[in-house]
């Protein structure tokens, strides 16, 4: 159980860490893969990487929610924790000029970066807003699809995140979430590590608990569409314990 004090500390640490990533444009060391290479390792195609502005590719995430989201022309899409905007820009091409894609991120540097990229590259059907995914700056019943890529595990109140997603979705709207879950209990020292929180590991829920959290928020037809063992940047101690899942669910 995360105390209120620890909750604030975790959020501040994560915000600061990703603010630095937004400014430096690098998550890994100089000897690690490029952002484009890292993106392709987690599920983006070479075509995806070529079809979005280069500044939006940061090598972050644990999957590609767009490839399974079945977005349609005219959809309104919301990206939780939009970062540099790669998923927003990919979604923008699918929903077309009649559609709209909104990215929400709690890190001012990320929002500014994404807004600057959108402006420089002439995207007119996207919008980026500063806000927390537990308290979305979005009108209720206004979104067709909610996507997210390895961000909800960073929240200390995941059920509140999914309740917010449920609130903003239109009737019969859906979510397509890429996230990390655990197959086994993580060591206590990992759960208490701020670095592990920012690395999307410490806050990961056990797979069944994660799905139950989505159901408690009101969603129906909750199912894992795709999953794979996740070892990118994971220590040997945690190897085989972390799974990348793509989860779909519907607002009844």
Instruction: Output the CA torsion sign for 110, 116, 118, 121.
Output: negative
Domain that holds residue 167: 4-251
CA distance 252 to 172: 6
What per-residue confidence (pLDDT) applies to 24?
Answer: 82
pLDDT number for residue 4: 59
Provide the pLDDT for residue 104.
Answer: 98
Q: What is the pairing mode between strands 242-251 and 169-182?
A: antiparallel
Mean pLDDT by 10 residues, the chain (252 residues): 73 94 65 83 94 94 95 98 98 98 98 98 98 98 98 96 98 97 88 88 94 98 95 77 95 91
Cα 222 to Cα 33, 157, 174, 213, distances in angstroms = 34, 19, 10, 10
Residue 157: what pLDDT? Answer: 95
What local confidence, expressed as pLDDT, does residue 194 receive?
Answer: 87
Q: How far apart are the first and last CA of the chain?
A: 30
Q: In residues, how long is the chain? A: 252
CATH code assigned at 100: 3.40.50.150
Domains held by the chain: number: 1
pTM, two decimal places? 0.94
Q: What is the spatial distance between Cα 250 and Cα 246, in angstroms, rounded to a whole number?
A: 14
């Amino acid at each position: 159980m995360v105390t209120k004090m620890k909750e604030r500390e975790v959020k501040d640490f994560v915000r600061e860490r990703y603010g630095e990533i937004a400014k430096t444009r690098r998550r890994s060391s100089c000897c690690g893969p490029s952002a484009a290479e890292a993106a392709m390792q987690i599920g983006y195609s070479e075509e995806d990487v070529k079809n979005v502005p280069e500044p939006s590719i940061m090598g972050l995430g644990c999957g590609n929610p767009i490839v399974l989201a079945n977005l349609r022309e005219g959809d309104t899409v919301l990206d939780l924790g939009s970062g540099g905007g790669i998923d927003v820009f990919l979604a923008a091409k699918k929903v077309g000029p009649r559609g709209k894609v909104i990215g929400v991120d709690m890190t001012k540097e990320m929002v500014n970066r994404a807004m600057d990229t959108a402006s420089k590259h002439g995207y007119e059907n996207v919008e980026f807003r500063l806000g927390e995914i537990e308290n979305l700056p979005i009108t209720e019943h206004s979104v067709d699809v909610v996507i997210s890529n390895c961000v909800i595990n960073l929240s200390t109140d995941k059920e509140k995140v999914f309740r917010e997603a449920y609130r903003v979705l239109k009737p019969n709207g859906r979510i397509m979430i890429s996230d990390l879950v655990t197959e086994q209990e993580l060591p206590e020292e990992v759960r208490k590590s701020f670095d592990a929180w920012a690395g999307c590991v410490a806050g990961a829920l056990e797979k069944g608990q994660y799905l139950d959290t989505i159901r408690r928020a009101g969603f129906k037809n909750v199912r894992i569409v795709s999953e794979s063992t996740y070892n990118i940047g994971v220590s040997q101690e945690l190897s085989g314990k972390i799974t990348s899942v793509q989860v779909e669910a519907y607002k009844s």
